[in-house]
Amino acid sequence: MSAVIDIQTASRDLEGEDAVEILKWASRHIAPKLTFATGFGAEGCVIIDLIARHDLPIDLFTLDTGVLFPETYALWQRLETRYGVKIRAVRPSQSIDEQARSHGAALWDRDPDTCCELRKVKPLRQALEGFEAWITAIRRDQTKERAFARVVEHDRKFGLVKINPLVTWTHDDVWAHVYANDVPYNTLHDEGFPSIGCQPCTVAVAPGEDARAGRWRGSAKKECGLHVIQPSHKETDAA
């Protein structure tokens, strides 16, 4: 945890501030112990665009579960080429084949919580070691749990400061930025996939359906377990 940041004050002062100014503030106060973990959603692409165009000293990585869509791997390359940045791959300790030998094939079908723990949460926890803060791409209007997110908050799950520069943005704000700045985005967004995760756990949604309805379709699971939002003493898993 950063010794120099007063989270309450920073969050209050930065509320309503421009996303670039939030990223610059975080860079000034926290870099080089500042990282952005992107899942390559449109919001993440916007943050990479802002970081790269303003040459901010922010580490970039992604969780490569080994079962991302080919379109996501292609986007990863396009972003690196377009912006001249390195987006590090953080991978689980076991390959898909090794996990199948240890836990049985297609663990995501039988026990997605354990699969996410092995392929996302544990690698993320290791990847965040040594950093003081991480940036996320969450927006308040994404889910009812995320409605409580603040610009700067204490991430109790990972023991870090969490910076949410797009927290006040809307879906339309994100796409306006993407189109205005020709930001690369996942082509699956044009094929009915508003929210894209691992290939086995993501399907297209019908027009009018909730944006995250295609994630873990048919399961009660709605989140990966990466983010914990704390609305006034109430803890909610909201990744």
Beta bridge partners of 34: 133
Catalytic residue among 45, 116, 201, 224: 224
Q: How far is the CB of 207 from ligand SF4 (least distance, A)?
A: 24
Residue selected from 20, 200, 212, 237 as contacting ligand SF4 according to rule CB under 6 A: 200
Q: How many residues bind ligand SF4 (CB under 6 A)?
A: 12
Q: What token pair was written down for 127?
A: 């990847």
Q: How far is the CB of 145 from ligand SF4 (least distance, A)?
A: 18
Among 77-85, 108-116, 155-163, 227-235, the segment contacting ligand SF4 (CB under 6 A): 108-116
Q: In terms of C-beta density within 10 A (0-12 exposed, 13-18 middle, 19 or more buried), how is residue 28 classed?
A: exposed
* Strand, helix or coil for residue 193: coil
What SS3 class is residue 59?
strand
CA angle 25/28/29 to nearest 5° reads 85
The residue among 41 and 112 lying less far from ligand SF4, judged by its C-beta, is 112
Examine the residue annotation and report whether 116 is marked as an active-site residue of this protein.
Answer: no
* 214 lies in the binding site for ligand SF4 (CB under 6 A): no
Nearest to 131 by CA among 165, 155, 167: 155
Q: Identify the residue among 7, 31, 52, 67 touching ligand SF4 (CB under 6 A).
A: 67
Q: Does 65 bind ligand SF4 (CB under 6 A)?
A: yes
Instruction: Read off φ and ψ for residue 168, nearest 5 degrees.
Output: -95, 0
Q: Which of 39, 41, 112, 123 binds ligand SF4 (CB under 6 A)?
A: 112
Please state, in angstroms and rounded to a whole number, the distance separating the CA atoms of residues 154 and 193.
31
CA–CA gap between residue 214 and residue 222 (Å, rounded): 10
Q: How far is the CB of 128 from ligand SF4 (least distance, A)?
A: 17
150 binds ligand SF4 (CB under 6 A): no
Q: What are phi and psi of 20, to 5 degrees?
A: -65, -40
- What residue ranges bind ligand SF4 (CB under 6 A)? 65, 67, 108, 112, 115-116, 119-120, 197-198, 200-201
